[in-house]
Chain A
Amino acid sequence: MSASCCDACLRRGYLVGLLAGRIAGLLDRPGCRPGGLLALEDAELAMAVGGEGTDEAINFLGRFEPRRARADLRHAEVAAICRHHDGYPALLRDLGDPPATLFCCGRVELLAAVDEEPAVTIVGTRDASPYGLDVAHDLARGLAAAGVTTVSGMALGIDAAAHRGALGARGATVAVLAGGPDVAYPRRHRDLHRQIRESGLVVSELPPGQRPYRWSFPARNRLMAALARMTIVVEAGESSGTLITAEVAQDLGRILAAVPGRVTARVAAGSNRLLREGAPVIRGASDALDELFGVGAHVPVPLSPADVDPLQRRLLDAVEAGLDVDAICEFAGVPVNEGRAALARLETRGLVRRDGLFGWEPARTRR
């Protein structure tokens, strides 16, 4: 672990963590961007925060003990990778203010892999429609099946659906957090956080234990945009923070694409505008793969169908088509009492699940 991060970069990483609250004082206004602040040298950054913060920072720079910091990291099971190390993704160097150190939990090898094997960032609104959640989920699942890593921010809504889609297909997924990598934010995503740590990677610019600040979300967004060759916006409102990611992706020359939403839907106003401005249209995983690798170059592996009898097959098809119970039973040609019973059996086998109290849906871990 010690080899993956030099002392200066580690100190810089902890300095940003130390000053996170002070930076918040400078930047935390709605729609703020970290601007050039994170590009400043250590001493300049210390001066920039001003007042007591400067004294505190200078004090810290003089007394920093790399050995203790490393022990803390080991204790928190967090790896630190600095920009002088091979494990640091070269793509991040495209940024004007690349983080000196990335704090990681999980499979750190995924980080360097984004240089060789292109990753896709899927972002969108937290307040997504069921359609948006479905699309984000299926998109990530399809990309995972094709071996493409999915990057997102573990936020509510689209982000979480994308992570879950990738995890569901046993694919690689990277969550870039606005707080420390060991801090599950939002808290209701604790389970998701644990799953991503176990089979994917959680990465952050802030050291362990840091809570996220308002400024650290747009700062995190720049990392998401930089880590992937392609950013897909699934659903974003007109003033969504998601559009910061899109903007950065465009500035860095990455492919910026969007999924079409209903033209009347408020939650899709921003993403539809991107399409209008010329962003490629993404209808599913194969469109994304075509954009990344060229048309037809990369065919996703179909997921293996479950072992079911013909009646169950018909029921599954009907559930997949989003029918209600009456229509499902009619389609399958059984009376409702038998249909209900058959659905319950499929549910027990994990092939369909209940959408809360609202009907049946194919078994997948959306939302």
Chain B
Amino acid sequence: MPPVLASVPTFALEGVDAREVTVEVDVRQGLPVFTVVGLPDTAVREARERVRAALLNSELEFPLQRLTVNLAPAWVRKAGASFDLAIAVGVLAASGQIPAAALRGCAVSGELSLGGALRPIRGALSIAIGCRDAGFERLVVASEIAPEAALVEGIEVCAVPNLSRLVYLLHGRWRPDPPLPPSRDEPFAARELPDLADVRGQADARRALEIVAAGGHGLLMVGPPGAGKTMLARRLPGILPPPTRDEALEITRVQSVAGIGAGRPATERPFRAPHHTISAPGLVGGGSRPRPGEMTLAHRGVLFLDELPEFSRQALEALRQPLESGAVEITRGQVSLSFPTRVLLVAAANPCPCGVGGERCECGTIARERYRARLTGPLIDRVDLVCQLAPVAAASLAPGVAASEGSATVRARVITARERQAVRLAEAARSPSAARDTPAAVPSCNAELGSRATRELAALDRRASRPLGEALDAGVLTGRGHDRVLRVARTIADLAGADRIAREHVDEALGYRATGAGRVTA
């Protein structure tokens, strides 16, 4: 038998992207050996045993010859069991059990059981996207994850339960049912989100939440334990506009790569509330084989940092740059990965170490100042609004008190305000002086405006600019806080349906601002 060579395309995950990897299988006369080369990790080397058993248990032939498997490009580190299927298909093709022509334009990805069944893998959506972008026509994956992969338009996704079915498919003797991408309107999608109607009182915090949702600004809530900080934060995804199709794909992709996806497109924005003991890599992503951090898991959704001053300084420092740029770059060895990190930051803190605050606080000056210094530390310049919460008065909890406004009403206002922004931003992007200094490539809300764009799009007339000038003169506002107040004022005007920012919008933005207020004087 002459030596035969087969090559099968598959994909390796790199961050949230998929990189094409070609599995080459060489079969030639010789003592029966099975070697895998091309920077495989232990799990990939173990693929030999799985592939052998899966082939034999599927009543296929495992050639008793010299088998060499190469994973190319050789410098990319390969990890995990997702190369099993490609190796098995390569062996089948090289030993003539399937027609090589059937593999044209087709990529495969999957883990094998010893019995020959295809197991689901993480990151199906990323692989499908990579597959389409690389120009393939067909992608073979396990049935369980096929609906997720089928979210990508432009490729045929073949849902295959096991190896024998795959052989039938490649011989043209069986066709799988096309997987149906689950509709966004299906009933199971309508997960119950916590509703703002559950929150009694707290008019000030509700207003701040609405502004934050409408403009994508960062929020800090300060209040004693039990005032409802976490309760309010959890209600933020419910008043944010539902994700667009593209955003839903981004969210699903991240969740799929992290192995927390539901195998269907996300219908709501994520809400992540990492514990304050989290490390910097846990927050922004990292590890020797980089995994997405909490920030990336909260991409297009809400990142809630409860007990902000308790987070380690390194963790908070690490948050700054990704918050600014909307992505985090992680370099390990020769590979540099990028994780998306566009989050809405909501933080919460107690007013002092004992948590009571106000008149009844018993903390000493030194303890309080140390706490405040930590609170006004690295993240405060990413916070646009600060609101204070008091424990809810018993009276407003009593039955019979009118229920508060529900999330649906607030969300409707938020969506209207976002639409106003979208129109304005689209106009600005078309104009020749399109803001080039924006930190995030294309701003999608007021909070993402760069400083030049802020001055252009949130311009003030003389009457509206007076409070800002006075605040600067009075020393209660710093230059850096100035743009921040402008952006928040722009959002408040958008919520009010106003084309021009009026004086009361600026005043309100000044009332909520954080920077310049946190200076600790001793």
- Hey, which bits of chain A sit against chain B, CB under 8 A? 125-131, 133, 156-157, 160, 188-189, 262, 264-267, 322, 324-327, 329, 335-345, 347-350, 353-354, 356-359, 367
Closest 8 CB pairs of A and B: A340-B511, A341-B507, A127-B364, A344-B510, A324-B390, A344-B511, A341-B508, A354-B517
Assess whether B375 is in contact with A326, with CB atoms less than 8 Å apart: no
1/0 per position for B456-494, CB-CB distance to A under 8 A? 000000000001001100101000000000000000100
Closest B residue to A365 by CB, please name it.
B521
Closest A residue to B220 by CB, please name it.
A357
Beyond known contacts A325-B387, A356-B518: 18 more, CB 8 A cutoff: A125-B364, A129-B365, A130-B361, A160-B522, A264-B362, A267-B364, A322-B358, A322-B359, A324-B389, A324-B390, A326-B201, A340-B507, A340-B508, A348-B470, A356-B372, A356-B520, A357-B380, A358-B357
CB within 8 Å for A337 and B508 given contacts A348-B476, A358-B222, A358-B357? yes
Cβ-based interface call for B56 (8 A): no
Assess whether A348 is in contact with B359, with CB atoms less than 8 Å apart: no
Q: Which residues of B contact A343 (CB under 8 A)?
A: 511
Closest B residue to A127 by CB, please name it.
B364
Q: Which residues of A contact B492 (CB under 8 A)?
A: 337
> Can you show 27 pairs from A to B with CB atoms below 8 A apart?
A126-B365, A128-B365, A156-B366, A160-B522, A189-B522, A262-B362, A265-B362, A267-B364, A326-B203, A326-B204, A327-B390, A329-B203, A336-B203, A336-B207, A337-B492, A339-B511, A340-B512, A345-B507, A348-B471, A354-B517, A356-B376, A357-B220, A357-B375, A357-B376, A357-B514, A357-B517, A359-B358
CB within 8 Å for A130 and B359 given contacts A325-B388, A344-B510, A367-B522? yes
Assess whether B386 is in contact with A357, with CB atoms less than 8 Å apart: yes
Q: Which residues of B contact A356 (CB under 8 A)?
A: 372, 375-376, 517-520
In the bound complex, what is the Cα–Cα distance between A333 and B363 (angstroms)? 33
Assess whether B365 is in contact with A131, with CB atoms less than 8 Å apart: no
Assess whether B222 is in contact with A338, with CB atoms less than 8 Å apart: no
Cβ-based interface call for B202 (8 A): yes
Assess whether A345 is in contact with B467, with CB atoms less than 8 Å apart: yes
Q: Which residues of B contact A340 (CB under 8 A)?
A: 204, 207, 507-508, 511-512
In the bound complex, what is the Cα–Cα distance between A346 and B323 (angstroms)? 33
Q: Which residues of A contact B518 (CB under 8 A)?
A: 356-357
Assess whether B511 is in contact with A341, with CB atoms less than 8 Å apart: yes
Assess whether B510 is in contact with A337, with CB atoms less than 8 Å apart: no
Cβ-based interface call for B137 (8 A): no
Q: Which residues of A contact B467 (CB under 8 A)?
A: 344-345, 348
CB within 8 Å for A367 and B521 given contacts A336-B204, A343-B511, A357-B222? yes
Shortest C-beta distance, A341 to chain B (Å), equals 3
Give the most central of A128, A156, A188, A326: most B CB within 10 Å.
Answer: A326
In the bound complex, what is the Cα–Cα distance between A345 and B386 (angstroms)? 17
Give the most central of B368, B375, B492: most A CB within 10 Å.
Answer: B368
Cβ-based interface call for B351 (8 A): yes
Cβ-based interface call for B504 (8 A): yes
1/0 per position for B494-516, CB-CB distance to A under 8 A? 00000000001001101110100
* Interface residue from B203, B367, B512 paired with A127 (Cβ < 8 Å): B367
Shortest C-beta distance, B86 to chain A (Å), equals 55
Q: Which residues of B contact A188 (CB under 8 A)?
A: 522
Closest A residue to B521 by CB, please name it.
A367
Assess whether B365 is in contact with A157, with CB atoms less than 8 Å apart: yes
Q: Which residues of B contact A156 (CB under 8 A)?
A: 365-366, 522
Shortest C-beta distance, A360 to chain B (Å), equals 8
In the bound complex, what is the Cα–Cα distance between A366 and B125 (angstroms)? 58
Give the most central of A125, A350, A359: most B CB within 10 Å.
Answer: A359
- Hey, which bits of chain B sit against chain A, CB under 8 A? 201-204, 207, 220, 222, 349, 351, 357-359, 361-368, 372, 375-376, 380, 386-390, 467, 470-471, 474, 476, 492, 504, 507-508, 510-512, 514, 517-522
The SS class assigned to the B binding surface is: mixed
Q: Which residues of B contact A189 (CB under 8 A)?
A: 522
Q: Which residues of A contact B359 (CB under 8 A)?
A: 130-131, 322
In the bound complex, what is the Cα–Cα distance between A341 and B468 (angstroms)? 12
Give the most central of B358, B364, B376: most A CB within 10 Å.
Answer: B364
Assess whether B363 is in contact with A129, with CB atoms less than 8 Å apart: yes
Q: Which residues of A contact B207 (CB under 8 A)?
A: 336-337, 340
Closest B residue to A337 by CB, please name it.
B508
Q: Which residues of A contact B389 (CB under 8 A)?
A: 324
In the bound complex, what is the Cα–Cα distance between A189 and B207 (angstroms)? 39
Q: Which residues of B contact A347 (CB under 8 A)?
A: 471, 474, 476, 510-511
In the bound complex, what is the Cα–Cα distance between A228 and B386 (angstroms)? 45
In the bound complex, what is the Cα–Cα distance between A130 and B366 (angstroms)? 11
Shortest C-beta distance, A275 to chain B (Å), equals 19
Assess whether B365 is in contact with A127, with CB atoms less than 8 Å apart: yes
Q: Which residues of B contact A265 (CB under 8 A)?
A: 362
In the bound complex, what is the Cα–Cα distance between A340 and B492 (angstroms)? 12
Shortest C-beta distance, A363 to chain B (Å), equals 10
In the bound complex, what is the Cα–Cα distance between A336 and B387 (angstroms)? 11
Shortest C-beta distance, A41 to chain B (Å), equals 41
CB within 8 Å for A358 and B522 given contacts A126-B366, A322-B359? no
Q: Which residues of B contact A322 (CB under 8 A)?
A: 358-359
Assess whether B202 is in contact with A326, with CB atoms less than 8 Å apart: yes
Q: Which residues of A contact B521 (CB under 8 A)?
A: 367
In the bound complex, what is the Cα–Cα distance between A350 and B518 (angstroms)? 17
Closest A residue to B520 by CB, please name it.
A356
Q: Which residues of A contact B507 (CB under 8 A)?
A: 340-342, 344-345
* Interface residue from B357, B365, B476, B514 paired with A133 (Cβ < 8 Å): B365
Q: Which residues of A contact B363 (CB under 8 A)?
A: 129
Assess whether A128 is in contact with B203, with CB atoms less than 8 Å apart: no
Q: Which residues of A contact B358 (CB under 8 A)?
A: 130, 322, 359
Assess whether A128 is in contact with B204, with CB atoms less than 8 Å apart: no
Shortest C-beta distance, A97 to chain B (Å), equals 32
Give the most central of A127, A336, A339: most B CB within 10 Å.
Answer: A336
Q: Which residues of A contact B511 (CB under 8 A)?
A: 339-344, 347
Q: Which residues of A contact B470 (CB under 8 A)?
A: 348
Give the most central of B380, B390, B508: most A CB within 10 Å.
Answer: B508
In the bound complex, what is the Cα–Cα distance between A354 and B518 (angstroms)? 9
Shortest C-beta distance, A329 to chain B (Å), equals 7
In the bound complex, what is the Cα–Cα distance between A157 and B349 (angstroms)? 24
Assess whether B388 is in contact with A358, with CB atoms less than 8 Å apart: yes
Shortest C-beta distance, B150 to chain A (Å), equals 46
Shortest C-beta distance, B204 to chain A (Å), equals 4
Q: Which residues of B contact A157 (CB under 8 A)?
A: 365
Q: Which residues of A contact B510 (CB under 8 A)?
A: 341, 344, 347-348
In the bound complex, what is the Cα–Cα distance between A128 and B364 (angstroms)? 5
In the bound complex, what is the Cα–Cα distance between A358 and B519 (angstroms)? 12
In the bound complex, what is the Cα–Cα distance between A49 and B388 (angstroms)? 58
In the bound complex, what is the Cα–Cα distance between A358 and B520 (angstroms)? 12
Assess whether B474 is in contact with A348, with CB atoms less than 8 Å apart: yes
Q: Which residues of B contact A324 (CB under 8 A)?
A: 204, 388-390
